């Protein structure tokens, strides 16, 4: 459509968690500007945490997000344990990982089926899609419910779990309490494999980006099997980074940009980077379970995926992995003697990083000798991806300028949803504007 000056305005970008604004301007057939404009409330939670006890951070930060509370809890726990010079391992660590698998299953199922699939199948939302794809929607709901159930079992409830504490849990399950969920997880794994096949059949725009992938990579000793990163590990990147969480601040910087209240994260050395499923997968393909690897291969994925639109397939592969891993953890589970390890506060700063479904959140806390929090910094995954989302949009719009306005708008929305952005973690309002001036 060779129009030199055109304005498209779209008032709502639905199906991303939270609200914000996206502004795209094109001029003479070129993309002139792309801005993901975020209205971030004052860093309410960081301020809210000051003066609170170090033991309160997991529960308070879990309130930041209704979809990935476990990610916040776990990152906060790791940071506090780091500050106090303690670490949690053995079966307590296994239980944390198991709880986190529940969150991955429910969050990915929600995004794949309810939020992202309608883009690929040409429906405005899941409501319309359900009329024609009843079986798929029911499969998605059942998968999500299994994730919820796992969270409920370990976390006490599926949203904002109350059973997690610094050092471990308030209560740990007896092995036989996990028998029922294991049966459900086996069915969920079949549904997840079906999900991979289903998503692989969608049509994907030809679009690849030279991302710098940033994800965790589980540290492992010689002879130990590889482990897909969920509950911790070294921060590694396709550009050669290999850091402990404590070094995060040396390499990543949050910048204020004029068009957004939210801070944009950048690699000090190289700028935009990508966190989330594509990064995790591409840096850890070797650590997937054999069924997950096989499903990926059948879906036509190589060991590295640079097409953000295929993230829906990668997420589906990760659901397979999460089901597998949960079953493995349940299979080897023996109740630990104590539900938690004692964590004694000391004046220190601690760092924590885990793999939320949508990428790494980074937490840093400074506490005093009595355990009171004097400083808190939380960098959610979506604010880390913002610069990369803008880069993607620049490329997507440039390649799609011949599309009519409505189709281009949908393509932009789809490109933003590739990131499963949890914008409520970083922001409050999202609207989409496209100016073709």
Partner 1 sequence: MGPRAGRGEKGGTGVLVIGVGNRYGGDDRAGLAAADRLGEAAGAPVALLDNIAGGTDLIDVWADADTVILIDAARSGGAAGTIHRLEVRADDPARQVVRVLGAGRTLGGSTHGLGVAEAVALARTLGRLPRRLVIVGIEGARFDAGEALSPAVEQALDEAVRLGLEEIARGGEGRCV
For residue 428, the minimal CB distance to partner 1 (Å) is: 7
Please give the size of the binding site for partner 1, defined by CB under 8 A.
41
If the CB atoms of residues 127 and 304 are measured against partner 1, the closer one turns out to be 127
- Region label for 158, one of left (φ > 0), alpha (ψ between -120 and 50) or beta (otherwise): alpha
Region 119-148 residues binding partner 1, contact defined as CB under 8 A: 125-127, 130-131, 134, 137-138, 141, 144-145, 148
- CA-closest candidate to residue 394, choices 421, 414, 418, 412: 412
Q: Which residues are CB-contacts of 369 (< 8 A; sequence separation ≥ 6)?
A: 345, 346, 347
What track of x and - describes contact with partner 1 for positions 50 through 69 (by CB under 8 A)? Answer: -------------x-xxx--
If the CB atoms of residues 156 and 205 are measured against partner 1, the closer one turns out to be 156
What track of x and - describes contact with partner 1 for positions 88 through 107 (by CB under 8 A)? Answer: ------------------x-
Figure out which of the listed residues 215, 430, 432, 434 binds partner 1, where binding follows CB under 8 A.
430
Figure out which of the listed residues 424, 426, 433, 434 binds partner 1, where binding follows CB under 8 A.
424
For residue 16, the minimal CB distance to partner 1 (Å) is: 7
For residue 107, the minimal CB distance to partner 1 (Å) is: 8
Q: Exposure of 62 by Cβ count < 10 A (0-12 exposed, 13-18 middle, 19+ buried)? A: buried
For residue 225, the minimal CB distance to partner 1 (Å) is: 33
Three-state DSSP state, 230:
coil
Interaxial angle between packed helices 90-109 and 179-200, expressed in degrees from 0 to 180 and rounded to the nearest 10: 40
Q: Which residues are CB-contacts of 127 (< 8 A; sequence separation ≥ 6)?
A: none
Figure out which of the listed residues 1, 3, 14, 347 binds partner 1, where binding follows CB under 8 A.
14
Alpha carbons 387 and 6: distance in angstroms, whole number = 25
DSSP label at 349? E
If the CB atoms of residues 144 and 351 are measured against partner 1, the closer one turns out to be 144
Are 276 and 267 in contact by the 8 Å Cβ rule? The answer is no
What track of x and - describes contact with partner 1 for positions 404 through 423 (by CB under 8 A)? Answer: -------------------x
What track of x and - describes contact with partner 1 for positions 17 through 56 (by CB under 8 A)? Answer: xxx---------------------x--x------------
Q: How many CB atoms lie within 10 A of CB 191?
A: 21
Region 322-351 residues binding partner 1, contact defined as CB under 8 A: none
If the CB atoms of residues 79 and 129 are measured against partner 1, the closer one turns out to be 129
Place of tokens 């349940």: 330
Alpha carbons 378 and 157: distance in angstroms, whole number = 24
For residue 215, the minimal CB distance to partner 1 (Å) is: 23
What track of x and - describes contact with partner 1 for positions 158 through 187 (by CB under 8 A)? Answer: xxx---------------------------
Interaxial angle between packed helices 290-298 and 179-200, expressed in degrees from 0 to 180 and rounded to the nearest 10: 20
Alpha carbons 355 and 230: distance in angstroms, whole number = 5
Alpha carbons 372 and 74: distance in angstroms, whole number = 19
Alpha carbons 400 and 408: distance in angstroms, whole number = 7
Strands (E), 154-259: 164-165, 168-169, 214-217, 234-237, 242-243, 252-257
If the CB atoms of residues 1 and 12 are measured against partner 1, the closer one turns out to be 12
For residue 189, the minimal CB distance to partner 1 (Å) is: 20
Check residue 377 for interaction with partner 1 (CB under 8 A): no
Q: Which residues are CB-contacts of 180 (< 8 A; sequence separation ≥ 6)?
A: none
Place of tokens 């589980």: 218
For residue 160, the minimal CB distance to partner 1 (Å) is: 7
Region 202-261 residues binding partner 1, contact defined as CB under 8 A: none
Residues of the shown chain interacting with partner 1 in the complex, contacts defined by CB under 8 A = 12-19, 41, 44, 63, 65-67, 106, 110, 114-115, 125-127, 130-131, 134, 137-138, 141, 144-145, 148, 152, 156-160, 423-424, 428-430
């Amino acid at each position: 459509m060779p129009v030199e000056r055109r304005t498209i305005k779209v008032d709502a970008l639905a199906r991303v968690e939270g609200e914000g604004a996206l502004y795209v301007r094109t001029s003479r057939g070129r993309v002139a500007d792309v801005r993901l404009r975020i209205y971030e409330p004052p860093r309410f939670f960081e301020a809210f945490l000051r003066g609170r006890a170090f033991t309160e951070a997991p529960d308070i930060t879990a309130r930041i997000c209704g979809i990935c509370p476990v990610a916040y809890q776990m990152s906060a726990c790791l940071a506090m344990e780091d500050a106090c010079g303690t670490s949690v391992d053995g079966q307590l660590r296994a239980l944390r990982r198991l709880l986190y698998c529940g969150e991955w299953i429910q969050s990915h199922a929600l995004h794949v089926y309810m939020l992202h699939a309608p883009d690929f199948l040409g429906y405005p939302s899941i409501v319309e899609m359900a009329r024609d794809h009843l079986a798929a929607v029911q499969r998605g709901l059942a998968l999500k419910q299994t994730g919820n159930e796992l969270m409920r079992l370990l976390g006490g409830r599926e949203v904002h779990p109350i059973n997690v504490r610094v050092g471990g849990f308030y209560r740990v399950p007896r092995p036989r309490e996990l028998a029922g969920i294991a049966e459900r997880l086996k069915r969920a794994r079949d549904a997840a494999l079906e999900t991979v096949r289903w998503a692989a059949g969608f049509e994907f725009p030809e679009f690849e980006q030279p991302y710098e992938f940033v994800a965790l990579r589980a540290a492992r000793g010689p002879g130990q099997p590889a482990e897909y990163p969920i509950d911790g590990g070294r921060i590694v990147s396709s550009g050669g980074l290999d850091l402990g969480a404590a070094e995060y601040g040396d390499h990543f910087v949050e910048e204020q940009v004029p068009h957004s209240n939210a801070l944009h994260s950048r690699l000090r050395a190289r700028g935009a980077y990508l966190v989330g499923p594509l990064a995790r997968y591409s840096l850890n393909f070797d650590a997937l379970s054999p069924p997950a690897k096989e499903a990926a291969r059948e879906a036509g994925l190589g060991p590295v995926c640079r097409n953000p639109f295929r993230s829906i397939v990668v997420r589906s592969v990760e659901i397979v992995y999460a089901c597998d891993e949960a079953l493995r953890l349940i299979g080897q589970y023996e109740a630990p003697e104590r539900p938690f390890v004692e964590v004694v506060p000391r004046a220190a700063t601690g760092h924590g990083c885990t793999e939320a479904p949508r990428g790494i959140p980074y937490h840093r806390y400074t506490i005093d000798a009595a355990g009171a929090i004097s400083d808190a910094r939380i960098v959610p995954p979506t604010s880390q991806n913002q610069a990369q989302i803008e880069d993607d949009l620049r490329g997507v719009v440039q390649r799609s300028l011949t599309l009519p306005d409505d189709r281009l708008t949908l393509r932009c929305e789809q490109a933003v949803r590739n990131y499963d952005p949890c914008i409520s973690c970083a922001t409050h309002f999202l609207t989409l504007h496209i100016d073709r001036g």
